[in-house]
């Protein structure tokens, strides 16, 4: 895509394997977290979210884990498919604040 690329951490995963993408956040006041997927030439697309009163949330083939103690967020994708190839961003927001702050992104490349 035109906006992401050369210097992003890259995860190469075999089709059918599970993927884990990690994200560290810095603001201890953040209480709402979102994972976005961005494919080439498109805008970020919502995948899954989690609030700070939870430590795990599951969606279809995706699971988000939140560890507030170490300010860490992860996204697990089960049975990774070629269509999962994209850049994945974590984003955080603090209660009462509408400013969604994005991380740098992680490139996932699925090998058929």
Partner 1 sequence: DAGVIQSPRHEVTEMGQEVTLRCKPISGHNSLFWYRQTMMRGLELLIYFNNNVPIDDSGMPEDRFSAKMPNASFSTLKIQPSEPRDSAVYFCASSLRDSPLHFGNGTRLTVT
Residue numbers at the binding site for partner 1 (CB under 8 A): 2-7, 32, 34, 36, 41-46, 49, 89, 98-105
Report the C-alpha gap between 44 and 55 in whole angstroms.
24
Tokens 């906006």 appear where?
A: 3
Question: Which residue, 62 or 100, has its beta carbon nearer to partner 1?
Answer: 100
Question: Which residue, 3 or 18, has its beta carbon nearer to partner 1?
Answer: 3
Least distance in angstroms from the C-beta of 17 to partner 1: 27
Question: Which residue, 38 or 85, has its beta carbon nearer to partner 1?
Answer: 38
Report the C-alpha gap between 27 and 24 in whole angstroms.
10
Q: In the 8-state DSSP scheme, what is residue 82? A: G
Q: How far is CA 61 from CA 19, 73, 77, in A?
A: 10, 17, 6
Least distance in angstroms from the C-beta of 61 to partner 1: 18
């Amino acid at each position: 895509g035109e906006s992401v690329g050369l210097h992003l951490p890259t995860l190469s995963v075999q089709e059918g394997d599970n993927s884990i993408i990690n994200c560290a956040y810095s603001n201890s006041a953040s209480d709402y977290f979102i994972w976005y997927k961005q494919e080439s030439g498109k805008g970020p697309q919502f995948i899954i979210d989690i609030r700070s009163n939870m430590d795990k949330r599951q969606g279809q083939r995706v699971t988000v884990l939140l560890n507030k103690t170490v300010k860490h967020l992860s996204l697990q994708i089960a049975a990774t498919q070629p269509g999962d190839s994209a850049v994945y961003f974590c984003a955080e927001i603090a209660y009462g604040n509408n400013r969604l702050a994005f991380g740098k992104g992680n490139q996932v490349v699925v090998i058929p």
